[in-house]
Structure 1
Amino acid sequence: MGSPKASTFGWPGSSIDAVHGRDGIAAASGDRVRGLLQGDFIQNMTKEELLQLRHGLGEVIKNNALKADNELVLRSLEKFRDARIEELNKLQREVDILKKDVSILSSRTPSRKDVAEDDAFMRKLDKIRNNVGDFEHLWINEAYGPNRQKALDRFSVHVNHFTKYNRLELIASWRHRRRNDTDHSSLSGDTFTQANIVSSIELDKECRRVATAGVLRQIKIFEVDNLKDRSVKMHFPIQEFATKAKLSSLSWNKHISNHLISADYNGVVSLWDADHGEIVREYEEHTNKIWSVDYAKASNIFASGSNDTKVIIWDSLQEASVQTIPSEDSPEQNRAQVCCVKFSPESNSQKVVFGCADSSVHCYDLRYPRAPLFSLRKHDNAVSYVSFINSRQLVTASTDSTLKLWQIEDNSQELVRTFTGHKNQTNFVGLSVHDQFISCGSEDNKVFNYYTGISKPCFSYS
């Protein structure tokens, strides 16, 4: 056979060259191919030429697809390479900063062998090792600050706070139980017969008195100094008074020391004179069980949250409520049961935060009650407690077995950390904050303590 021939197919005003070889047409212009296929002359091509044309077009498409695939892989690898280089550069910058920090601290505090071998020191070091990921994150947050000394000081605060304590110690325990109905003796002869749920334990402003309440329709008030006296084997209340219904929550007035409010299962808030055990006033605008009450820091204003989905604001010097949140004309009515409510800690605060059974948290400014300043929706179950560490840090507790720490501003809210370790899927187990420490109960009969910078517990007590 002779060598392959070159054939030229043309149409008016243009042409396309197709090189015939052993594998048919090797290459062709896409635009010209489309023009070729639209030409009338294609009807005059032989069967062999049509087969060669089809094969050639298939090769063109296949080659173009292969080129596109290779280009995609190449671009992907370049992206991966650039990302790894950036990670490597970032890691190198952090290593350089770490070297400087180590040098600064080494010159400031020469290593002492006796300290390094101390058992207490080793326990603290183990706590750091067990939470190394969180501490790395804390250090990185400080690593790129302009002032290394201040950044080191802030990181040192985290380390020293977290390792400062290693256990909880029981100071006192006392019973909140109903006295025997047949026992009419004085408190010194008190006998206790019935265990119960204690739903609220509240310290007054001066931490001199602690009030307890629960489902036995009683409020008991104890002196803290007496409770701390370890020589006393059994503690008795300095005041106790009966209530009309089961109680869910208590709150002391931060301004008038003898004023205490209680919330009950019948939807009634009662204002008590705690010195005399007398009701000063009752508030009955809720239509369902009240879960939570809280006094503002430096006023007679307090809030109550209920299963009727409302948060009501009251003034203890008035008989009627001040306002309802959300307001009646609000386009964003809350439809979930309110489980907890708390005022922001500023002395002139107009902000109130409440958590709901639908796992949401809402913050309102009392001056603008039609819509929330913000809402938080990161929990997976009912929000049982909210508490402020300071005006910009909020802790929320949920029956999803987590606590969450939030950095809050009017225009931005950030979930800083989620704390896990305790068990809480059914009951309201309590929440308390002090300085940068958070304590809560657990359904395995333990008390857990967390530090705000670390997601795992510092320690627990059982």
Structure 2
Amino acid sequence: MSQEAEQGISRTPNKRRRALTPVPSSYHADITMDERGDLTDGAAMSAIFPSSNSASGASSSAVSSMDSTFVESVEISDVGSFKRALEEICAETSPCDEEDLTCPVCRDIFKMPYLAKCGHTFCHDCLAQICQHSKKCPMCSTELRDLSAAYVNLHVDSLVTRWTRWKLTVEKKTGMSPAFPSNSHKRQRTVTEFVGEGHGTPIVVVDREATVEQIDCIINSLNRRKNDLITSDIVFRKLLLGDTLEKLRSMKAAELAEIQKQLSLIEADQKVVTEELASIREPSAQSSLALPDVTPVTPNPQTVPEDVFPMSSLMDSAGQLTPTSSASSSHVFQKAASSPALRDRKTKVNLNLNALCDTYVEMREKCGLETYEKNLHEFTSANSVRCLAAFAFADAVGTSTIVSSVEFDKDYELFAVAGVSKRIKIYNYNSIVAEGMHSHFPLAEMNSSAKISSVVWNDFMRNHIACADYDGGITVWDAITSKKTNTFQEHQKRAWSVDFNHCDPKLLASGSDDMKVYIWSTDTPHSINSLDAKANVCCVQFSPQNRHILAYGSADHSIHVYDLRNTRYAYSVLKNHKKAVAYVKFMTEWELVSASTDSTLRLWDLKATGGATTLKTFTGHHNEKNFVGLDCSGNYIATGSENNSLCVYHRAMPKPAVMYKFEAPRESLARTLMKTDGGEFLSAVAWKKDSNVLVAANSQGLIEILEMS
């Protein structure tokens, strides 16, 4: 073996077969012909593989001054015998990693390996020197004073023997030595620091005796590779950018197509409205003949502002509508166009333009322009709320007077008020409004043994009213005699809600903190059915037109709808709220509104294709911890807020149509109200059917009759 071959091999830790002179075959696999061609130049090959004398005398391109893996991105191509030699060598497998056979002291292959008492292996001579001088293991600093405590490491000695045999086999086949001279690591460190500085491992290993021409050739090859990498990176980034831009273009094109479709629809509707206004402003004989037959009606002065349409000018002496002339129509048109009411409604439209746009898109194709016009009129007509009457629920100063429930009877002439004062009071609506802001006395009063959370009237028997209380009791009262007619006591905890069936006067349902919903009959002293709710039940409500459908809201953030003919499974479970559901109210047979302490209301369609779905989400009030009331009338939804305000929504719009703040009452009324820390909240609301009037109460015990206009 030549001295040059013995001294030209370097080691790199943690890499298998790094002492082999040739490059492993795995470095051939992924190389392209063009890349190999970059390094087949003789100068480059001799710079990277300096020649060494072999038994055959041929130039075998053995590596004398470099690591076996000189480039990981630019691979080596070989010619002739060198390629065949590589293939033969790669068919052989080293019995172990040469680093495992290296003495950590002399950095050479083990000679008579001995195992110290600390577990580390050294050459016999090296271990003897350690015991004589430093007396500590250079690897772990364990004290080593006596060589007699060490013994021969037979396993390592066997590996050294096997590796030596393998080395001789490789030399015999290729004429290239995989020797591992003791000083090679010094040269490797020098080369690595020079070539791979800042990278940890060398990218290219160059023989220190390479000429300038050879180095220039390598630099040119690397520059070409560098340019390829830069070009590849640019192409990669441009392809990614192009794909993203294409997706953005497609998305915006779809949006543009949708906007153009909506714009065309709006322009068509605008043209229709313009033509209708023109025909009203300047009616012709032909258009007058084409008007449909209309039954004369007496207009309601409360719903049609006099400054918009002077109704007296359109009626004859009998109070019937009379045909108008062209001049009269033009006058009415001008009067309406300049009215303050129209100006106020336009202002409201401007404030809610985005929501009105969304509503138009949702409703136009489904319901038509007429429905949208009706909803727009109803939404903009709710501009203010005025108080018709106000009174205090408490009889004495300083008593707890939180009103928990307000309900009208079936004829909407009487209303009941109940709360934590353990009393139910019945009032006459007309009498209260007629007396205005004076003291009001109830027509009847019923005393309960516990705080009352909910009251409800029977839709068929006017004198029957039911309540749920904090002790879990459900009581049916006769409002005329103020006597109990039924008492049900099966709930184990506070009952929050009770509701009469709107089709069967004998049925009622209740929900409680005991996670139960009970169905009762006034003919039976115990429950006739029950539902296991799995969570605290906050509210129950029967469908107004289907005696079998019952909905309840609970602390699991859901509304559960059941068909009482089969209570094994829920008919539908509505999940979109983020907190407990405090109220549910049916607007129609298959539409209901829910209120949650997540400060939202949701309108649900139970018969939607594919299952129940949210039609609209309403936000604008504040409700995080209290029961603030909920009721519906026509297309309007009223609820309370924890800032002591009333919020009224229209079903087509996500924001409040109107809000009303409970102001500080008059001094004569304030004396009977409970003093609080300013944290008042609205606690109950109830609509008067087929009107724009509602009753609202707050946690201070203040009750107000309000009119929306």
TM-score interval, normalised by the smaller of the two chains:
0.7 to 0.9
Tell me which residue corresponds to 1:152: 369
Give yes or no for the alignment of 1:161 onto 2:378.
Answer: yes
C-alpha distance in structure 1 between counterparts of 2:636 and 2:76, whole Å: 74
Tell me which residue corresponds to 2:313: none
Match 1:397 to one of 595, 604, 607? 595
Tell me which residue corresponds to 2:285: none
Tell me which residue corresponds to 2:253: 85
Match of 2:250, SS state, is helix
C-alpha distance in structure 1 between counterparts of 2:476 and 2:355, whole Å: 45
Give yes or no for the alignment of 1:319 onto 2:517.
Answer: no
Tell me which residue corresponds to 1:309: 515
Q: Give deviations 1:95-133, integer Å, cap 9, x for gaps.
A: 222111111000001374543332111110111111111
CA displacement at 1:136 relative to structure 2: 0.5
Which deviates the most, 408-417 or 59-68?
59-68
Match of 1:423, SS state, is coil
Tell me which residue corresponds to 1:175: 392
CA displacement at 1:57 relative to structure 2: 6.6
C-alpha distance in structure 1 between counterparts of 2:584 and 2:404, whole Å: 15
Which deviates the most, 407-416 or 87-96?
407-416
Match 2:580 to one of 382, 387, 407? 382
CA displacement at 1:259 relative to structure 2: 1.5
Q: How high is the sequence identity, in percent, across the aligned residues?
A: 30
C-alpha distance in structure 2 between counterparts of 1:250 and 1:394, whole Å: 20
Q: Give deviations 1:266-285, integer Å, cap 9, x for gaps.
A: 11101111221111111111
CA displacement at 1:176 relative to structure 2: 2.0
Match 1:356 to one of 551, 554, 560? 554
C-alpha distance in structure 2 between counterparts of 1:92 and 1:34, whole Å: 61
Give yes or no for the alignment of 1:420 onto 2:619.
Answer: yes
**Which of the two has higher C-alpha Rg?**
2
Match 2:346 to one of 106, 109, 125? 125
Q: Give deviations 1:247-269, integer Å, cap 9, x for gaps.
A: 11111111222211111111110
Q: Is the Cα–Cα contact under 8 Å of residues 171 and 230 in structure 1 kept in the other structure?
A: no
* 1:167–1:70 Cα change, 3 Å: same
Tell me which residue corresponds to 2:162: none
Tell me which residue corresponds to 2:490: 285
CA displacement at 1:90 relative to structure 2: 2.0
Tell me which residue corresponds to 2:571: 373
Tell me which residue corresponds to 2:628: 429
Matched residue type, 2:652: G
CA displacement at 1:361 relative to structure 2: 1.8
Match 1:20 to one of 24, 38, 50? 38
CA displacement at 1:313 relative to structure 2: 1.1
Q: Is the Cα–Cα contact under 8 Å of residues 584 and 592 in structure 2 kept in the other structure?
A: yes
Please show how residues 105-254 of structure 1 align to structure 2 within 5 Å.
105-110=273-278, 112-144=333-365, 151-178=368-395, 194-230=399-435, 233-254=438-459
Q: Is the Cα–Cα contact under 8 Å of residues 204 and 254 in structure 1 kept in the other structure?
A: yes
C-alpha distance in structure 2 between counterparts of 1:231 and 1:336, whole Å: 44
C-alpha distance in structure 2 between counterparts of 1:253 and 1:268, whole Å: 18
Match 2:604 to one of 381, 406, 413? 406
* 1:36–1:446 Cα change, 3 Å: farther
Match of 2:392, SS state, is coil
C-alpha distance in structure 2 between counterparts of 1:406 and 1:41, whole Å: 80
Q: Give deviations 1:388-442, integer Å, cap 9, x for gaps.
A: 1112322111222222222222752222222222222222111111001011122
Q: Is the Cα–Cα contact under 8 Å of residues 263 and 292 in structure 1 kept in the other structure?
A: yes
Tell me which residue corresponds to 1:457: 656
Q: Is the Cα–Cα contact under 8 Å of residues 222 and 237 in structure 1 kept in the other structure?
A: yes
Tell me which residue corresponds to 1:189: none
Match of 2:445, SS state, is strand
CA displacement at 1:211 relative to structure 2: 1.1
* 1:57–1:454 Cα change, 3 Å: same
C-alpha distance in structure 2 between counterparts of 1:50 and 1:403, whole Å: 74
CA displacement at 1:60 relative to structure 2: 5.5
Q: Give deviations 1:307-329, integer Å, cap 9, x for gaps.
A: 11111111122111111113xxx
RMSD of the TM alignment (CA)? 3.2
Match of 1:305, SS state, is strand
* 1:35–1:126 Cα change, 3 Å: farther
Matched residue type, 2:658: F
Match 2:536 to one of 327, 332, 337? 337
Aligned residues: 417
Match of 1:439, SS state, is strand
Matched residue type, 2:620: G
Structure 2: where are the runs of 5+ without partners?
1-27, 45-74, 88-173, 175-204, 207-213, 282-332, 662-709
Which deviates the most, 365-374 or 207-216?
365-374
C-alpha distance in structure 1 between counterparts of 2:336 and 2:383, whole Å: 18
